[in-house]
Amino acid sequence: MKVAHILRHPLKSHGREALETISLNAGQSMPYDRVWAVAHEASKADGSAWAPCANFSRGSKAPSLLAISSRLEEDAEVLHLSHPDRPDLSFHPDTEGDKLIDWVMPLVPQNRALPERIIRLNGRGFTDSHFASVTLCNLASHKAVEEQIGQPLSIHRWRGNIWFESTAPWVEFDWMGRDVRVGGCVLRLRERTDRCLATTANPETGERDTDMLGALKHWGHQDFSVRAEVIEAGPVQLGDPVEVL
């Protein structure tokens, strides 16, 4: 088994970025993964602590967000976003949040709580788990879902972090509670990732087009990927081995 893709999402639910290498830190999420999030007008989140996803604009409520791609300039902390229906945008999330709010407003339903402000959470980011997590995804499981649905599917529907190649679908669920060495770091698998309507949107168009949740029910669940805690820091790069300890 080896690492096939490394992905992060600097602004939660607003774009994904492919990487060739990343260094993970113990007890933290992937650096710059979901470090920012867009709080809507009904949100209680203020950036002082982790908050659940219901406080933020997200793909389950606004499927068009799934078509956003991103690129982060880490040194300057400038985020570049692109979408097929919007002009490209470059801005600093901490100081130019209004630019993002204006840019994204046409992409969100107007009959729901609207995006209002960007907030930041260093170290652990606004991952969907109560602990600082990195998601580990199995390409063989993704291929099993493709076969069940009967068509190719983008891996970006799952918004995972580290993808690995294997020959056994769903084997990652058998590793729960165990440690996995990924490149130079060690992850401890904590929980399966339950899925929502965000997966039904096409990451190229932002339109809902596939019953991903119905496909998962074929296996008696609606889970895909596993959430893990980094317990030993280290680098990860494409092609690195993945080994269950």
Q: Are residues 90 and 144 in the same domain?
A: no
Q: Are residues 97 and 148 in the same domain?
A: no
Q: Are residues 67 and 154 in the same domain?
A: no
Residue 59 CA to residue 195 CA, distance in Å, equals 12
HSE, side-chain direction, 13 A CA sphere, residue 7: 23
User: pTM for this structure?
Assistant: 0.96
Residue 208 CA to residue 200 CA, distance in Å, equals 5
Both tokens assigned to 15 = 């774009």
Q: Are residues 108 and 209 in the same domain?
A: no
Q: Are residues 144 and 239 in the same domain?
A: yes
Last residue of a domain, one of 68, 96, 120: 120
Q: Are residues 211 and 235 in the same domain?
A: yes
Predicted local distance difference test score (pLDDT) of residue 176? 96
Q: What is the pLDDT of residues 146-204, one digit of tens each?
A: 999 999 999 999 999 999 999 999 999 999 999 999 999 999 999 999 999 999 999 99
Q: Are residues 38 and 98 in the same domain?
A: yes
Domains held by the chain: number: 2
Q: Are residues 39 and 9 in the same domain?
A: no
Which CATH number is 196's domain given?
2.40.33.20
Q: Are residues 141 and 208 in the same domain?
A: yes
Residue 123 has pLDDT above 90, yes or no: no
Last residue of a domain, one of 60, 85, 120: 120
Spatial contact of 178 and 244, defined as CB atoms under 8 Å apart: yes
The domain in which residue 232 lies consists of 2-14+18-26+129-244
Q: What is the pLDDT of residues 65-86, one digit of tens each?
A: 999 999 999 999 999 999 999 9
Q: Are residues 79 and 186 in the same domain?
A: no
| Share above pLDDT 70 across residues of the chain, in percent, rounded to a whole number | 100
Q: Give 219's contacts (C-beta < 8 A, 6+ positions apart).
A: 170
Predicted local distance difference test score (pLDDT) of residue 215? 96
Predicted local distance difference test score (pLDDT) of residue 169? 98
Q: What is the pLDDT of residues 202-218, one digit of tens each?
A: 999 999 999 999 999 99
Residue 98 has pLDDT above 90, yes or no: yes
Residue 154 CA to residue 146 CA, distance in Å, equals 9
Last residue of a domain, one of 70, 98, 120: 120
Q: Are residues 233 and 140 in the same domain?
A: yes
Strand partners, 134: 228
Both tokens assigned to 206 = 């932002």
Amino acid letter, residue 67 = A
pLDDT, mean over the chain: 97
Predicted local distance difference test score (pLDDT) of residue 64? 97
pLDDT band at 103 (very low <50, low <70, confident <90, very high): very high
